[in-house]
Chains A and B, each alone.
Chain A
Amino acid sequence: MTTKKLNPGSYMNPYLSGVLLGLVLLTAFYVSGRGLGASGAIKSTIVTAVDAVSPSHVENADFYAEYMESHPKPMKSWLVFEMLGVLVGGFISGALSGRLKLKIEHSPKITSRRRLIFALAGGILFGFGSQLGRGCTSGSALSGMAVLSLGGIITMAGIFGTGYALAYFVRKNWI
């Protein structure tokens, strides 16, 4: 052991977590015939919110109209329920491990403000990209790999490849 990690004992062995996550994913396939996902839940929420504020906009704009056509009840979607579960599950695990704490996590070399600005920018980019890519890491990459989907692997390569390519330029934020 050459690195001193924060709370080394309280995080689960990564390989064990991986196997458990794989089993959760397998359960999703077996029970519901689909893999996991995340960004779609936010999309549903946005469509619902826009519909509540301005139904005519929803009818006129292609994006919303196409979505409402195939999902007349956007909030009653598998992903929305799944993400609610994620919130609960994460909370329980955090509570059991004593990691519940309201804080802004950042490298000691940068300020909180900088971290939040980058978090916002990252979120905007990721949100936009997830719609283009028809999925995020959970949906496209992870679930895609499990079913040997070529599209999933391509998106995954895009995500990680770009991450590595840009890592040097934002290294101050992390290391």
Chain B
Amino acid sequence: MKSRLILAGFLIPLALIIAAVPSNTTRAYRLTADQLLQEAVSYEPYVHPDNVADMLIQKDPSLILIDVRTPDEYDKFSLPGAINIPLADLLSDEYLDILDQDENTNVFYSNGTLKSNEAWMITRQLGYENNYVLQGGLNYWAEVIMNPVPPAQTSPDEEIAKYNFRKGASMALGGGAETNTAASAVPAKPVIKKKKEKKRVAGGC
């Protein structure tokens, strides 16, 4: 009898506490500040508009463009096939599967790079992989892809190839006829990093 009472004396208060207190739903940071800083100052987070344009033209299914601006701005103009995750809602549960995954290449973009950088910082620190920032944002995109500047006649072949690609891209993405792009002018696209198996797997039981 005594041990039962002692047990009950411990368990009931503990159970009452656990029933009363709201559960903890914080997500832990996986990277240390040092690690994050190292990645942030490198070029790792960035994807050049040329890459994105190429992936769009090739209809690469792994590309997901994420517009982190407000819904109004998204409605006014957005890149082809982009989805809208306003920065304020970044940590909402409904987007978790989109942001924390290892099959697609997510590219955040905003007008400049302020918001998209912030989105990258937060998701990266939570340990999510395969999220990138569109270098220069929409402003640079417009400059480079939509209205490319023709290089001087004396520029190296590489520059001219790049220009041809961009012209073609702007036509393709502006709804024009598809043209052959100079594959060599496009830098390598980001590699999709496989997520480490997070859930423990049990060998049956």
Main secondary structure of the interface of B (DSSP, over half): loop
Cβ contact of A78, chosen from B4, B7, B203, cutoff 8 A:
B203
A33 within 8 A of B: yes
Query: With A13-B3, A15-B7 in contact, do A139 and B200 touch (Cβ < 8 Å)?
Result: no
Whether, in the assembled complex, A25 has its beta carbon less than 8 Å from a beta carbon of chain B, the answer is no
Asked if B16 lies at the interface with its beta carbon under 8 angstroms from chain A, I say no
| Residue B177 CB within 8 A of the other chain | no
Size of the chain B interface, CB-CB below 8 angstroms: 11
Closest residue of B by beta carbon distance from A71: B203
B205 at the interface (CB under 8 A from A): yes
- Are A34 and B202 in contact, with the CB atoms below 8 A? yes
Inter-chain residue pair count (beta carbon < 8 A): 48
Chain A interface, number of residues (Cβ within 8 angstroms): 27
- Tell me, in angstroms, the Cα distance from A135 to B6 when the chains sit together: 32
Q: Tell me how far the C-beta of A49 lies from the nearest C-beta in chain B, rounded to whole angstroms.
A: 15
| B203-A77 in contact (CB<8A) | yes
Q: Complex: how many Å from CA A16 to CA B4?
A: 10
- The 8 A CB mask of B1-33 against A (1 = contact, 0 = none) is 001101100000000000000000000000000
- Which residues of B come within 8 Å of A, CB atoms? 3-4, 6-7, 199-205
A-B complex: 7 closest residue pairs judged by Cβ atoms: A139-B205, A135-B205, A33-B200, A37-B205, A40-B204, A77-B203, A40-B205
* Given A44-B203, A140-B205, 20 additional A-B pairs, CB 8 A: A13-B3, A15-B6, A15-B7, A19-B7, A33-B200, A34-B200, A34-B202, A38-B205, A39-B205, A40-B204, A40-B205, A43-B204, A44-B204, A74-B203, A77-B203, A79-B202, A79-B204, A134-B205, A135-B204, A139-B202
Residue ranges of A at the interface with B (Cβ–Cβ < 8 Å): 13, 15-16, 19, 32-34, 37-40, 43-44, 67, 70-71, 74, 77-79, 130-131, 134-136, 139-140
Offer 30 A-B interface pairs, CB within 8 angstroms, sorted by A: A15-B7, A16-B3, A19-B7, A32-B200, A34-B202, A37-B202, A37-B205, A39-B204, A39-B205, A40-B202, A40-B203, A40-B205, A43-B204, A44-B203, A44-B204, A67-B204, A70-B201, A78-B202, A78-B203, A79-B202, A79-B204, A130-B205, A131-B204, A134-B204, A134-B205, A135-B204, A135-B205, A139-B202, A139-B205, A140-B205
